[in-house]
A = this chain, B = another copy of it.
């Protein structure tokens, strides 16, 4: 039986976590109802503050996420959490599953927690992540935390989805250097030096400040990423992180950057959907034989790949 999308959206907006979960499953599995779901969600979106969290394994991302959930719950806000799992493209499964640290929030109906596999074929983040964000936004979440695990492209992608991106580092792991190498210095709106009760926290903060000063000089009026020290496992410094997030949000709105970010995000999403549709059409050309036939000729060195691609594109735009 096809799902009653209108009723699901209504129940999700009333705070029914099963309805939220069902909607995310519909968008995650690219169900036939996906377009209907998106249409039904659109009138309700645009309110949630989207916060990305990233950093090397072991830096305390899940603990920090849980502490931020508690802080926003104290403000009586509804919170969504999307944990993106860089699982194997082969196994298809999620390595982490549900998060132990999150259990204190598991029975709170104003907190919605979901793990999503990153399938990798759109550059790291699950292609369905933007759609899942829309579901949580439309369902009335005031804040959505998007946590990525691992290091790499996903960290860069999360910055494009989030309004504000937290980059977590820990003392004594050479993390500031690692962050610089992985290209995640540039994506941080706020740095969090977690486990700041450990030796070397001040040195790590100093390293970060130094590396930031080495980067391109920021123009006047640009955002200067603050460095906040936390011990997330004891909740220390979390209010400072929230205050920094509030300040960043205000700056985004006042500077017009929030609108600009959302336009870029929408353009990326539209283009990704269009390219997926075009790939499907390419696969369908000549009853699905054209690409295969061209590949055979390229593999046999009878045709160069650019000339083959020209034939595909011509087939697509003339059909």
**A interface residues with partner B (beta carbon < 8 Å):** 34-35, 38-39, 41-43, 45-46, 86-91, 95, 120-121, 123-124, 130, 150, 152-153, 156, 181-183, 186, 259, 262-267, 269-271, 273-275, 277-279, 282, 291-292, 294-296, 298-310, 312-313, 316-317, 319
B279→A295 contact, CB < 8 A: no
* Shortest Cβ gap from A58 to chain B (Å): 13
A273→B152 contact, CB < 8 A: no
Among A39, A91, A275, max chain B CB count under 10 A is at A275
* Shortest Cβ gap from A190 to chain B (Å): 18
> Which of B41, B263, B265 meets A292, CB within 8 Å?
B263
| Contact residues in B for A316 (Cβ distance below 8 Å) | 274, 278, 317
| Contact residues in B for A291 (Cβ distance below 8 Å) | 267, 270-271
A282→B292 contact, CB < 8 A: no
B277→A282 contact, CB < 8 A: no
* Shortest Cβ gap from A87 to chain B (Å): 8
B263→A295 contact, CB < 8 A: yes
| Contact residues in B for A278 (Cβ distance below 8 Å) | 275, 278, 313, 316
Contact status of A271 and B282, CB under 8 A, knowing A42-B303, A120-B156, A150-B152: yes
Give Cα distance in the complex from A301 to B278, angstroms: 24
Give Cα distance in the complex from A33 to B313, angstroms: 20
Give Cα distance in the complex from A43 to B303, angstroms: 9
Residue of B nearest to A318 (CB): B317
Contact status of A181 and B273, CB under 8 A, knowing A123-B123, A301-B45: no
Residue of B nearest to A300 (CB): B46
Residue of B nearest to A317 (CB): B317
| Contact residues in B for A124 (Cβ distance below 8 Å) | 153
| Contact residues in B for A87 (Cβ distance below 8 Å) | 183
| Contact residues in B for A305 (Cβ distance below 8 Å) | 38, 130, 266, 269-270, 273
| Contact residues in B for A282 (Cβ distance below 8 Å) | 271, 274
A301→B46 contact, CB < 8 A: yes
| Contact residues in B for A262 (Cβ distance below 8 Å) | 299
* Shortest Cβ gap from A217 to chain B (Å): 16
B294→A270 contact, CB < 8 A: yes
B183→A35 contact, CB < 8 A: no
